[in-house]
Amino acid sequence: MAKELTTRQENYSQWYNDLVTKADLAENSAVRGCMVIKPYGYAIWEFMHDALDRMFKQTGHVNAYFPLFIPKSFLSKEASHVEGFAKECAVVTHSRLMSNPNGNGVIVDPESKLEEELIVRPTSETIIWDTYRNWIKSYRDLPILVNQWANVVRWEMRTRLFLRTAEFLWQEGHTAHATKEEALTEARKMLEVYAEFAEKHMALPVIKGIKSANERFAGAVETFCIEAMMQDGKALQAGTSHFLGQNFAKAFDVKFLNKENKLDYVWATSWGVSTRLMGALIMAHSDDNGLVLPPKVAPIEVVIVPIYKTDDQRQAVINYCVEMKERLEKKGLRVKFDDRDTQKPGFKFAEWEMKGVPVRLAAGPRDVENKTVELARRDTMEKMEISENGMEEKITALLEEIQENIYQKALKYRKDNTVRVDTWDDFKKNIENGKFVYAHWDGTTETELKIKEETKATLRCIPLDDDLEDGIDVYSGKPSKRRVIFAKAY
């Protein structure tokens, strides 16, 4: 048995990449850099999707949908925007296929060449602002608070499952406002929504911050972000919210009459999170036994595994389990009763652990007799025997505890791997060791790029919640007003 176990661990525990992507969440498709999200993985995405959607609606947003195809000319209207995306666009040039006259198969019909090429959206600012022009005439039409759930395509040179796929699912909010202040408030508000979602639902501690000019979104005036630390110490940008100023309004000629009866350009924001969040979830919480899901995004919160030998036992145990399942469901919990006759209990234990189910219950004849049930929690792998009486309350409370524990564990990990440094030697050493480094920065792109060149560390963000502090730049020695975060990133 030990040998079998070893073999399987070798197969399954090659960290999240093999384990989760190949075993459960996705598998590579024939399309370059794309992913198949398997049902269990998609269920996790649906939970994140639904929770976010509720939060958007609570903050006054509504959903809409805009075309997948963007005429090439749209993309070129905002100069820095097109510059940012030009190198990673999929382009539609033809509209038809035809039988190959020279043999079998089909070829692109040269007659069907499009007059203007279409770009498969890498993001939708352009087509949405082209549409907003017709929606906005007066300050009375504002604000527009629209969100879109969609897929986008970015033909990246190098792809990475979940973190940077050629096609990914996301939501993109695009809002239009009458004043700069209102737009800025909106961008900040959505950053708060993302931070709350990451921390409360995904149990993922994040740092809210502002991007440096160098890392800013193409076309934005200011980019806000949430940054998270993965278990290898690398930083992952988990969500962004942009204050777009009047850049897109000017590019697409979106003007309105304000209260003073003066014509003005509209102020804009955009904000988005993607299936990259699933990558964050996996990389932040998984262990060698597989995925660890915070209960709030777990498609299954409790799995019940029956244990029996004989047919007589089977019936009694199943009845016992079904009753528990119904009682838990009555409390609003998502429960799976694994009554498969084809797998043994030990196999099921391992499988559900790999899938990250927060709580497992196992019941056999002994439990039926004693009115007990064995409970195992995924986050700590602890097992305990609890009484069947009042188990609903116990489990409900435990799920909250697990949610909190996973968050605290990630938070502690980040704290343990975050340092403040004041010398260049310390800086290099700590970046090399995969730490988040708080250091003084002189505020110039030049220094930022030099640091990146020498250490591969990027300026993750200028933290919003930190106090100002006088100091000198760790690289250039020039004066600095505050510390910023440097780290290696995905």
CA pair distance 413, 400, nearest whole angstrom:
20
| Minimum distance of RNA from residue 349's CB (angstroms) | 4
| Minimum distance of RNA from residue 329's CB (angstroms) | 21
Residue 198 in contact with residue 206, Cβ under 8 Å?
yes
CA pair distance 463, 460, nearest whole angstrom:
9
H or E element that contains 293: none
Using N-to-C axis directions, what is the helix angle for 391-416 and 276-285, rounded to 10°? 90
| Minimum distance of RNA from residue 15's CB (angstroms) | 11
- Of the pair 112, 151, the CB lying nearest RNA is at 151
| Minimum distance of RNA from residue 455's CB (angstroms) | 10
| Minimum distance of RNA from residue 459's CB (angstroms) | 12
DSSP lists the bridge partners of residue 436 as 418
- Of the pair 55, 375, the CB lying nearest RNA is at 375
Output DSSP code: residue 164: B
Q: How many CB atoms lie within 10 A of CB 416?
A: 9
| Minimum distance of RNA from residue 180's CB (angstroms) | 23
| Minimum distance of RNA from residue 155's CB (angstroms) | 9
Q: Of 53, 243, 278, whose CA–CA distance to 161 is shortest?
A: 278
Q: Look at residue 332 and give its three-state secondary structure.
A: coil
CA pair distance 299, 41, nearest whole angstrom:
9
Q: What angle do CA 440, 442, 447 make, to 5 degrees?
A: 105
Q: Look at residue 359 and give its three-state secondary structure.
A: strand
- Of the pair 272, 295, the CB lying nearest RNA is at 272
Answer positive or negative: Cα dihedral of 485, 239, 191, 230: negative
- Of the pair 71, 84, the CB lying nearest RNA is at 84
| Minimum distance of RNA from residue 309's CB (angstroms) | 5
Residue 219 in contact with residue 84, Cβ under 8 Å?
yes
- Of the pair 223, 480, the CB lying nearest RNA is at 223
- Of the pair 145, 375, the CB lying nearest RNA is at 375
- Of the pair 33, 209, the CB lying nearest RNA is at 33
| Minimum distance of RNA from residue 16's CB (angstroms) | 11
Q: Hunting for tokens 């809210």 — which residue is that? A: 208
- Of the pair 65, 347, the CB lying nearest RNA is at 347
- Of the pair 278, 439, the CB lying nearest RNA is at 278
Contacts of 133 (CB under 8 A, 6+ apart): 252, 253, 254
Residue 152 in contact with residue 127, Cβ under 8 Å?
no
